[in-house]
Each structure stands twice: as structure tokens, then as C-alpha cells.
Amino acid sequence: MIKSGFFERNLKYLFPLPALLFVLLLMVFPVLYTLFVSFTEWTLTSGRPMKFVALDSYLKIMREPRFLDAVGRTFSFTVGAVVAEAVLGTTIALVLNREFKGKNALKFILLLPLVATPVAVGIVFNLFYDPTIGFLNYVLSVLGLPQSGWVTASSTVLPSLMLVDIWQWTPMIALIVLAGLAGLSNEPYESAKVDGASGAQTFFHVTLPMIMPTILTAIILRAVDALKTYDIIYAMTGGGPGYSSETLNILAYKYSFEYFNLGQASSILVFLFFLVLLFSLGVMKIRKKFEL
Amino acid sequence: MKQSLRFRIGFPLLVLIIIIPMIFPFLWMFMSAFKTQVDIISWPPKFLFSPTMVNFNKVFNEQNFLLYLKNSMIVGVGSVAISLLLGLPAAYSIARFHQKRLSVMILIARLMPGISFLMPWYIVFSRLGLMDSYTALILSHILIALPVVVWIMSSYFESVPLEMEESAMVDGATMQRAFVSIILPLSVPGIVTATTLSFIFSWNNFMFSQVLSMEKTRTLPIAVYNFMSYAEVDWGGVMAAAVAIMTPAIILTMVFQKYVVKGLTMGAVKG
């Protein structure tokens, strides 16, 4: 055994220590603090000191229609956007999963929406969606269809926002699935061919089962972010018109930094965190169950 | 292999159907940035127009855009540099000593809604007089960059064969010495991936700067957003600002395309 110094013997603790301390100080403590504040009644602007109220903030928020609407909206936004992204992204990956000239250029184009600043993306789509000068209403009028209010009407605002999310993040699923497809072995395909399987049969019985774990992981990654969508919605509508596009994250922001109602803001945040956590655990369980 | 005629026509068509919706918003943004307000609000929308530099002039000369650009750079470079310093040894240790719990912790940092730390920071930073300071912004952006660095680098280090350190250590080098002089140089591709991605994420972040910065340290996403909130939207100006903020990230992506793809897709494919 080589004689080694203190540093060497404790490397496995010393190496991660700085990062660990940082995470503890700037993440774990703040989150515990938020958890604590969620059991209090504390509005900064009221001038009254923080008061411990146990579950009162949670009960108050549960009775708040804005909160209940935001929960439903967060769900529909996430499910709608992510399902569309998964279907479109997988389709795109299957189309592009072959060698052709300009494949790299195409991958670069797929990367563009992913690296584009969400706030700026939101603003560009606002110009598209503008009811009077927007390009999309122009297209509708050329096609002879009735014009839409897009993000300015409460009936269409959520699908319009979902469309932006779908535009920005479908390429991510496409790239992930494409990378997954590239790593598949050739053997199952050859035996499928020998067995005389049709194209559709090969897809459903060979490709899809092999690629499913990758798709599910991509879905988890996407859904975790979609549940927390903030930039696009804030930039495009600020939660409006009225409250009609408020998701949980937008609501939590408003409670924290517009109303300074920190007690109830924290309850919303704790709720959102458990939602994200439960969702991730749920999908991972599904993966295990089907041995994906 | 011979390709059928149907494929030779059908495939490029499919590719076009994929590309056009992806690229059109960028094209429209770019065109609008060179249009006068009159051209932008004209109906039907104009595809042909005489380009003007008015919008870019306004963004860079009348607005304090260069200051915001500098701020975004300082915050991005600062937070990524510190994240590498903290994250590389941590990732190495996770990879070599199989510290599962540590990597789960980093994963949870990814799951947390950002506001759940923003609110406490807001309180602490205001008491410490750190609002509108680079310190506060860089600290907050490390929480964006650090998980990216650890996530990417721990799986990268796992792919580096253990024999590399072992042979160095047989020659009498300590493990930390082997890490610095053997492993890190071998891991440059991974480090490039982690650096590029975490810089882009910091560059694009809106929420943290929205709360923690004011006039002095305001970063670009906030500046672009503020352009919108004037009474009448100056579309040309906003689009020029949008072009300005996206260009650096797009150039980075162009230069490091291979690495960016790898960084965005890793984790998922391995899982």
C-alpha cells in the first residue's frame, strides 16, 4: 500500500466538498426556509411580522379559485405540450434517421430553437400572433378562415402558448431520439427481415420497444421543465388576459414579488415542487414496471 | 443502394416540412429587425422592403444595450468559471467513488422551481445590500450552471478508463495530481460541452435577473423584455434587440454544434 497524505485519503470527501457547501448554502437552506415560510402568514408590505399559522396558508390557497385554475392549467399545458412534442419529435427523428447530404446542417437548424432566448422567442411569437398586424392572422385570412385573437383572447391563449413551447422544444426530443436510434444494434432488424416483417410491424415490434426508454426519459426531462414554464408566459401575456394564462410558476412569482404575500407564495411553491417530484417518480415507476 | 423515385422526391419534401416551421420565426424576426415601423404594421405583411438600420441604431445608441451586454457577459463567464471550479472535482468524485446520493442531490437542484430559492435570496440579499450587484447575480446563476457541469462531467469522467490515473499513480503521482494533469486534459471535449451549455443557459435566464438586478446590473433578457412594456410597442426595436441577444448563443452553437448536441442528449440516451 502506498503511503498517502491526508488529502489523498480523504479525496472522496474533499473533492465534492466545495460544491456541496455551495448547494447547501444557496439551495438547501433557502428551500428549507421557503418550506418554513409556507407555514406562516407573512406579507412584506403589511408591515406585520411573520406569524406561524401551521397549515393555514395551504388552506387559504386551496380555496383560492386562481390557484385551482392555475393547477388545472399547468397540467393541461404540460400534458398537451409534452405529448405533442413527443409525437412530433419522435416522428422527426424517424424521418431523419438515415444518412443524407446536409444532415449536419439540418441538426444545426434543429438546435436553433433550443438555444434561442425564451423571452425573445416569446416576443417574436407575439408579433406573429398580433391580431391586427400578425402574420398568422394574415395566413388565416388568405385561407378564408376566421381570424383568431391568439394570446389576446382568454379562450385561445393557452393553446397559443403551448404552440410556442412545442415549437421551441420539439427539436430537443427529436435530437434525443435521433441519438438513441443511432445507438441501436442492427441484429433485431436483420432477424425481423428474415421473418418477413412489414415496415409497420418492424416499427411497432422492434424499433418502438427499443427506443421507448429514451423517449420516456426525454418526456421526463421536458415535462419537468414544462411544469415550471415561466419565461415564455411571462413575456407574452404576463398571465393574462385577466388571469387566463396563469400557471403555478407565474402565480408563485406574482404572490412573491408583486403582492409580497410570502406565506401563500411559499405554499404554492411547495405544492409545485411536490408536483414535479411526484411526476418524475411516477414516470420512473412506469419505466420500471414495463422494464423499459 | 438504389432509392426509389418516390423516396427521392418525398424525402426532401418531408425535410422541408420539418425545416420551414423551425426557421421561419427566425427569418421573420431578422426581417422585422430591418423594417421601419410602417413596414412592420403594414397589411398584408411585407416580404419585400427596403432595409433600414434605424432599429439597431436605436438599440445600441439610445438604449443602454452595451451595458446590458457587458452585464450578461460578466454574469455568464463568472458563474460558469466558478461552476467549473466547484463542479469538476465534484463530478470526478461522483464518477470514481460512485457517490449516488450526491448525484441525486444535483438532480433535485434541476427539479426545483427557481422561485423557491429566489424568494429567500431576495430577502437575504436585500438585507446584505447585495441587490443589483454582480455578486448576487453570479451566485444565483451558479445554481443554473453547476448542475449542468456536474451532470455532464460525471458521465464524461465515467467514460475515461481508470487505468489512466492508475498508471500515473504507479509513477508516484497523487490522485489529485493525476486528476489535474492527466484526467482534465483528456476531458477537454466534455468540458467544452459543459461550458457551452451552461453559458447559454445563464445567458438566456430571465427570472433570476428579473428579481435580483436593477439598472446597474440588468442583463440582456430583462432589457429585451423591457422594450416590450412601453406604451406602444416599437416592434422594429424589439426585433433588433431579439436578434442581438440570440446572435452570441447561435454563434456558440454553430462553433460547438457537436458538443451542444451531445450535451443536450446525453443523460437521456444513457438512461
Q: Which residues of A touch B196 (CB under 8 A)?
A: none
Which range is least confidently modeled, A85-94, A130-139, B81-90? A130-139
Contact A12 B97 (CB under 8 A): yes
DSSP A183: T
Q: Which of B141, B151, B153 is CA-nearest to residue B105? A: B151
Q: Which of A169, A273, A181 is CA-nearest to residue A221? A: A169
Per-residue pLDDT tens over the stretch A22-44: 988 888 899 899 999 999 988 88
Q: What is the pLDDT of residue B230?
A: 65
Q: Which residues of A touch B42 (CB under 8 A)?
A: 133
Per-residue pLDDT tens over the stretch B141-156: 999 999 999 989 988 8
State which CATH number among 3.40.50.970, 1.10.3720.10, 3.40.50.10090, 3.40.50.300 fits the domain covering A74-289: 1.10.3720.10
Q: What is the pLDDT of residue B72?
A: 96
- The number of C-beta contacts closer than 8 angstroms across A and B is 257
| Min distance A80 CA to chain B CA atoms (Å) | 19
pLDDT band at A292 (very low <50, low <70, confident <90, very high): low
Report the b/e string of A173-202 with b at 16+ CB within 10 A.
bbbbbbbbbeeeeeeeeeebeeeebeeeeb
Contact B142 A22 (CB under 8 A): yes
* Three-class SS state of B271: coil
CA distance B172 to A41: 61
Residue of A nearest to B199 (CA): A115
pLDDT band at B100 (very low <50, low <70, confident <90, very high): confident
* Three-class SS state of A247: coil
Q: What is the pLDDT of residue A4?
A: 64
Nearest CB to B90 within list A16, A112, A230: A16
- Residue B39 located in a structural domain: no
Q: Which of B21, B33, B25, B31 is CA-nearest to residue B242? A: B33
- Residue B67 located in a structural domain: yes
Q: Answer for the pair B99, A12: CB distance below 8 angstroms, yes or no.
A: yes
Q: Which residues of B touch A7 (CB under 8 A)?
A: 174, 176
CA distance B271 to B268: 5
The residue range of the domain holding B147 is 55-265
Contact B257 A107 (CB under 8 A): yes
Contact B112 A37 (CB under 8 A): no
Q: Answer for the pair A151, A244: CB distance below 8 angstroms, yes or no.
A: no
Q: Which residues of B touch A107 (CB under 8 A)?
A: 257, 261
Interface test with B, best of A6, A12, A140, A264 (most B CBs within 10 A): A12
Q: What is the pLDDT of residue A280?
A: 78
Interface test with A, best of B171, B206, B208, B254 (most A CBs within 10 A): B206
Nearest CB to A8 within list B40, B175, B246: B175
Contact A273 B113 (CB under 8 A): yes
Please say if the pLDDT value at position A3 is more than 60: no
Interface test with A, best of B265, B266, B270 (most A CBs within 10 A): B265
Contact A27 B238 (CB under 8 A): no
| Min distance B179 CA to chain A CA atoms (Å) | 11
Q: Answer for the pair A280, A221: CB distance below 8 angstroms, yes or no.
A: no
Please state the rounded mean pLDDT for residues B193-199: 94
Contact B269 A180 (CB under 8 A): yes
Locate B175 and state its grid cell.
Answer: 490522485
Q: What is the pLDDT of residue B226?
A: 86
**How many of the other CB atoms lie within 10 Å of CB of A5?**
10
Per-residue pLDDT tens over the stretch B10-41: 888 999 999 999 999 999 999 999 998 888 88
Helix axes A208-227, A157-182, angle to 10 degrees: 140
The whole-chain average pLDDT of chain A stands at: 89
Please say if the pLDDT value at position A72 is more than 90: yes
pLDDT band at A14 (very low <50, low <70, confident <90, very high): confident
Pick B90 or B47 by higher pLDDT. B90
Nearest CB to A15 within list B89, B121, B146: B89
| Min distance A137 CA to chain B CA atoms (Å) | 10
Contact A265 B119 (CB under 8 A): yes
- Residue B255 located in a structural domain: yes
Question: Cα–chain-centroid distance for residue A41?
Answer: 30
Q: Which of A256, A7, A235 is CA-nearest to residue A127? A: A235
Contact B242 A123 (CB under 8 A): yes
pLDDT band at A112 (very low <50, low <70, confident <90, very high): very high
- Residue B36 located in a structural domain: no
- Could you tell me which residues come within 8 angstroms of residue B263 by beta carbon, excluding any fewer than 6 positions away? B148, B152, B193, B194, B196, B197
Please state the rounded mean pLDDT for residues A13-28: 89
- CATH classification at residue B207: 1.10.3720.10
- Residue B15 located in a structural domain: no
Ramachandran region of residue B174, left (φ > 0), alpha (ψ -120 to 50) or beta? Answer: beta
What are the residue ranges spanned by the domains of chain A?
74-289
pLDDT band at A1 (very low <50, low <70, confident <90, very high): very low
Contact A18 B85 (CB under 8 A): yes
CA distance A176 to A40: 43
CA dist A115 → B65, B141, B142, B146 (Å): 21, 17, 18, 18
- Could you tell me which residues come within 8 angstroms of residue A20 by beta carbon, excluding any fewer than 6 positions away? B90, B102, B105
Q: Which residues of A touch B34 (CB under 8 A)?
A: none
| Min distance A155 CA to chain B CA atoms (Å) | 23
Q: Which of A25, A5, A20, A26 is CA-nearest to residue B89? A: A20
- Residue B64 located in a structural domain: yes
* Residue A72: burial class (beta carbons within 10 Å; 0-12, 13-18, 19+): exposed
Per-residue pLDDT tens over the stretch A211-220: 888 898 888 8
Pick B232 or B72 by higher pLDDT. B72
Q: What is the pLDDT of residue B209?
A: 92
Contact A277 B113 (CB under 8 A): no
* Three-class SS state of A250: helix
pLDDT band at B9 (very low <50, low <70, confident <90, very high): confident
Please say if the pLDDT value at position A110 is more than 80: yes
Per-residue pLDDT tens over the stretch A185-234: 888 888 888 888 888 888 888 888 888 888 988 888 899 889 999 999 99
Per-residue pLDDT tens over the stretch B158-184: 888 888 788 887 887 788 888 888 889
Please say if the pLDDT value at position B270 is more than 50: no
* Rounded (to 5) percent helix, strand, coil in chain A: 75, 0, 25
Q: What is the pLDDT of residue B2?
A: 57
Q: Which residues of B touch A275 (CB under 8 A)?
A: none
Helix axes A118-129, B220-228, angle to 10 degrees: 20
Q: Which of A73, A64, A118 is CA-nearest to residue A246? A: A73
| Min distance A176 CA to chain B CA atoms (Å) | 5
Q: Answer for the pair B176, A11: CB distance below 8 angstroms, yes or no.
A: yes
CA dist A51 → A120, A263, A266, B115 (Å): 41, 9, 14, 21
Q: What is the pLDDT of residue A283?
A: 74
CA distance B264 to A215: 14
Per-residue pLDDT tens over the stretch B104-115: 887 777 778 888
- Residue B50 located in a structural domain: no
Per-residue pLDDT tens over the stretch B81-94: 999 999 999 999 99
Per-residue pLDDT tens over the stretch B214-245: 889 999 999 889 887 665 788 888 999 999 99
- Residue B203 located in a structural domain: yes
